[in-house]
Chains A and B, each alone.
Chain A
């Protein structure tokens, strides 16, 4: 029998807001433990929730980007269970009336194919405390309690680890480009749970579902699914049943490990949240949230291609939301966009990689980089601009024109006459090479141009010089 995998994803995205989902405590990553906590976050008796408008705006933007149907009546429910990381003993979520329903996301599945993954729902909820376990005690950090979360649930229709990774990556791009989230799986600002089941190919019903938790990178998502498909396939092939259960991915062994059975699944005793009355979003509010949304990944890519940027360069720029937004700020004149990209993807990335930092910690402003790129249009050679770049890195804040003066750079002349003079001098000084050239040794041409460039000391544009050299040699 031929088996096929049916995979569904549940992705939690922490949204970047100033305050928490239901309290006014700040939402920021990396503060000292328990320094960003409101009364409500610790669930002191009598405290009540407020609703974070910014989080609702983020949710609307994501719902729109995922082509979802938006429910303008915002309602919340309680999901009740006891756990040390859950201060109130319940989580406020949107079980019965998610903000978004029935959307999709097109993902690239390799070999230039795309596949439309349907999305069941998107809803708002709040994060739990962060637990740090030690041998005989556990520490609780309430900074994380109440951070707004957007949960995206796909239809069970993903067929491989590869496709799941592509989906997570596409969603990560969506949320990072729209400024909704950092989308960092390693920091937990994007988290993914996976449901995997197998069935005979072509069958309509589903096999028993295995949920996998603790996936800390996109790579782990793929590896865990591949492992799980293999594990379930082997069980079936050996005539053993698959049980509905929850498993955890162990990064070290690359295996999924049993956590709990279905019998131990929690009954969440859902209840409508009585302290938040239903909130009706006006059409204007929804419109405004969507219209003011930062440009999406797809939108930017289309724009880049329209600007004449190659697909490869466009994708390189878009590999990082911060990089592309840096590029957008630096791209102030379409006539030097290619020079700009050359600098950004070449020198700048090389420098950042060497320093092991991201573009957000880059010391040169987008405007400075633009000024540097513009120098190419003004006739400076790439090497001269690189020299300027190096100078500016060491003297951050100094204007580029000042650097030009200090380094005493002048743009090489495009004047054909002076080029011709240098070329003819070079030809007379190197008779042997000219002879070699005439006898068909191509290398000799390169040597002659090189000699001429040395003589020109950067005052003549190399391309002009090469052209003139070729002409003179042909004339004999």
Chain B
């Protein structure tokens, strides 16, 4: 048992009692990082982390993040540390500023040990499309199963116990899905809760900065450090972060038409088992239908809106200001070369879809229509949430897929159970994956989605669920 494996509050006590130092923790995290075979790091910030940790001598008693090593997804801007978003188009780019979340953790004296891999520019759900190739699921040492994306690296480093927590980003399900496939907690807060300043945008109206951890009790600690207003992000809310110490008996909404698309098997059994246990603990289960038409519209709507926003956000990457420069006879040629050499085919396809949807002839029938459908879906989610404290559903229909089964192609008939997480991005609602169990040694999870700006009760529900599953702190390779 290492100090790194403990909940933050316990690591903190050991640090305050000087049983262990930030440098010890950092060295151990770095050792684990270098031993990892999961292709989870873009950059291990060994020298930077050692220098930072060495300077931490006097423990700060009130600061639970003092001296805690962590990792950040490589689409968060880090001053002086390369940040590529796993894209060749940004090779060699070293930002001159910190993202707000990085700056806040630096202020808290948490130690950044490295930048983690992602699907290129955070667009993708497989963890296979970054310029360093696939990131592996630590639970499958044969390297045949994905961990999911796009925050694949951050999920892998927390799921394999390298660091107690890591930062990620979530536009469709990019934190929660890999968290589900790797048996850890993945948090997407309310939109506007955590500053996005310094997050490389994918689709800002749906982008969120969030985090991974292994202990439900760490959730509010990290949330308090990261959340709150930021003058650098106009969309960041000034609503105060509130602690929750209310009753832990919840009204839990289960969407039956989502559940209908979940095949019977271990996951369904585990999920239904958890419902029974929650009832035993005094929770009330409310069964509702969301509406199949709207559920089926989620994925195409998401693809159109996110691709449209992406085509605009990444237009700044043209090789003229940062990233590799490609000489050409004309500016058109220079830009075209930078973009066609810099982006993989998958990314270019998304841009093409986005551009197509926004073009003058298609704008009304594709983009504007998708916006309208998004509004309808959001309206329905909020209506459903009036019936309870949160919506509770399995995170995905299966354990992590095999690489050989997964193609980054649009599914012909998307299963609602595989796309309901997007509801949280459309409506900006807080949404958290909790580990639920294992099938053939591979983890799976369930997701709780609550009311806007009500993270507190959701964290309490997570603790309750952790209590029920007994999976708090679990990671691959842990030693008792």
Q: Is B199 at the interface (CB under 8 A from chain A)?
A: yes
In Å, the complex CA distance between A32 and B194 comes to 37
CB within 8 Å of A: which of B414-459? Answer: none
* CB–CB A80/B311 < 8 A: yes
Encode contact with B along A43-56: 1 for CB under 8 Å, 0 otherwise.
11111111100000
CB within 8 Å of A: which of B186-204? Answer: 196-201, 203-204
CB < 8 Å: which of B96, B203, B233, B312 contacts A44? Answer: B96
Q: Is A304 at the interface (CB under 8 A from chain B)?
A: no
In Å, the complex CA distance between A138 and B75 comes to 31
In Å, the complex CA distance between A442 and B335 comes to 85
Specify the chain A residue showing the minimal Cβ separation from B76: A46
* CB–CB A82/B205 < 8 A: no
Inter-chain contacts of A3 with B (CB < 8 A): none
CB within 8 Å of A: which of B350-384? Answer: 355, 358-360, 363, 367
In Å, the complex CA distance between A89 and B339 comes to 12
Given contacts A82-B335, A138-B331, A270-B363, contact A45 B316 (CB under 8 A): yes
Given contacts A48-B197, A270-B358, A271-B309, contact A88 B232 (CB under 8 A): no
* CB–CB A274/B233 < 8 A: no
* CB–CB A42/B321 < 8 A: yes
Encode contact with B along A122-153: 1 for CB under 8 Å, 0 otherwise.
00000000000000001010000000000000
* CB–CB B312/A89 < 8 A: yes
How many A residues touch B, CB cutoff 8 Å?
Answer: 30
* CB–CB A88/B234 < 8 A: no
Inter-chain contacts of B308 with A (CB < 8 A): 269, 271
Q: Is A276 at the interface (CB under 8 A from chain B)?
A: yes
CB within 8 Å of A: which of B96-126? Answer: 96-97, 99
CB < 8 Å: which of B203, B311, B335 contacts A269? Answer: B311
Specify the chain A residue showing the minimal Cβ separation from B315: A89
Q: Is B235 at the interface (CB under 8 A from chain A)?
A: yes
Q: Is A306 at the interface (CB under 8 A from chain B)?
A: no
In Å, the complex CA distance between A178 and B364 comes to 40
Q: Is B346 at the interface (CB under 8 A from chain A)?
A: no
* CB–CB B201/A271 < 8 A: no
Specify the chain A residue showing the minimal Cβ separation from B90: A45
Q: Is B85 at the interface (CB under 8 A from chain A)?
A: yes
- Nearest CB of chain B from residue A21's CB, rounded to whole Å: 13
Q: Is B95 at the interface (CB under 8 A from chain A)?
A: yes
Q: Is A358 at the interface (CB under 8 A from chain B)?
A: no
* CB–CB A274/B331 < 8 A: no
Inter-chain contacts of A90 with B (CB < 8 A): 312, 315
- Nearest CB of chain B from residue A277's CB, rounded to whole Å: 5
Chain A, interface SS category: loop
Q: Is B231 at the interface (CB under 8 A from chain A)?
A: yes
Encode contact with B along A10-47: 1 for CB under 8 Å, 0 otherwise.
00000000000000000000000000000100111111
- Nearest CB of chain B from residue A270's CB, rounded to whole Å: 7
Q: Is B77 at the interface (CB under 8 A from chain A)?
A: yes
In Å, the complex CA distance between A274 and B235 comes to 9
Inter-chain contacts of A42 with B (CB < 8 A): 321-322
Inter-chain contacts of A270 with B (CB < 8 A): 358, 363
Given contacts A39-B97, A43-B321, A46-B197, contact A277 B315 (CB under 8 A): no
Q: Is B286 at the interface (CB under 8 A from chain A)?
A: no
In Å, the complex CA distance between A233 and B33 comes to 76
Q: Is B173 at the interface (CB under 8 A from chain A)?
A: no
Q: Size class of B's contact patch?
A: 35 or more
Inter-chain contacts of B83 with A (CB < 8 A): 45
* CB–CB B90/A82 < 8 A: no
In Å, the complex CA distance between A89 and B233 comes to 20
Inter-chain contacts of A274 with B (CB < 8 A): 203-205, 235, 309
Given contacts A78-B312, A269-B355, A271-B308, contact A46 B321 (CB under 8 A): no
Q: Is A463 at the interface (CB under 8 A from chain B)?
A: no
Number of residue pairs A-B, CB distance < 8 angstroms = 105
* CB–CB B359/A269 < 8 A: yes
In Å, the complex CA distance between A42 and B312 comes to 15
Inter-chain contacts of A366 with B (CB < 8 A): none
- Nearest CB of chain B from residue A17's CB, rounded to whole Å: 18
* CB–CB B235/A277 < 8 A: yes
- Nearest CB of chain B from residue A81's CB, rounded to whole Å: 8
Q: Is B42 at the interface (CB under 8 A from chain A)?
A: no
* CB–CB B196/A87 < 8 A: no
* CB–CB B96/A269 < 8 A: no
Given contacts A45-B77, A48-B232, A49-B234, contact A275 B360 (CB under 8 A): no
* CB–CB A46/B198 < 8 A: yes
Q: Is B318 at the interface (CB under 8 A from chain A)?
A: yes
In Å, the complex CA distance between A51 and B231 comes to 11
CB < 8 Å: which of B204, B311, B321, B360 contacts A87? Answer: B321
* CB–CB B201/A88 < 8 A: no
Inter-chain contacts of A88 with B (CB < 8 A): 315-316
In Å, the complex CA distance between A39 and B97 comes to 9
In Å, the complex CA distance between A90 and B204 comes to 15
In Å, the complex CA distance between A276 and B204 comes to 10
In Å, the complex CA distance between A42 and B77 comes to 15
In Å, the complex CA distance between A274 and B191 comes to 12
Q: Is B320 at the interface (CB under 8 A from chain A)?
A: yes
Q: Is A283 at the interface (CB under 8 A from chain B)?
A: no
Q: Is A84 at the interface (CB under 8 A from chain B)?
A: yes
Specify the chain B residue showing the minimal Cβ separation from A40: B232
* CB–CB B234/A48 < 8 A: yes
CB within 8 Å of A: which of B221-247? Answer: 231-235
Given contacts A46-B197, A82-B335, contact A277 B234 (CB under 8 A): yes
In Å, the complex CA distance between A463 and B95 comes to 79
Encode contact with B along A61-99: 1 for CB under 8 Å, 0 otherwise.
000000000000000001010111001111000000000
Q: Is A333 at the interface (CB under 8 A from chain B)?
A: no
Encode contact with B along A211-222: 1 for CB under 8 Å, 0 otherwise.
000000000000
* CB–CB B198/A267 < 8 A: no
Given contacts A45-B85, A46-B201, contact A80 B358 (CB under 8 A): yes
* Listed A/B pairs (16) with beta-carbon separation below 8 Å: A43-B321, A44-B316, A44-B322, A45-B95, A45-B201, A46-B77, A82-B315, A88-B316, A89-B314, A89-B316, A90-B312, A138-B331, A269-B311, A269-B312, A269-B358, A277-B235
A-B pairs, 7 with minimum CB distance: A89-B315, A269-B358, A43-B316, A274-B204, A274-B205, A46-B198, A45-B200
- A sample of 16 more A-B contacts (CB under 8 A), given A46-B197, A50-B231, is A44-B77, A44-B96, A44-B321, A45-B90, A46-B95, A48-B197, A48-B232, A80-B312, A87-B321, A89-B312, A138-B331, A267-B360, A274-B203, A275-B233, A275-B235, A277-B234
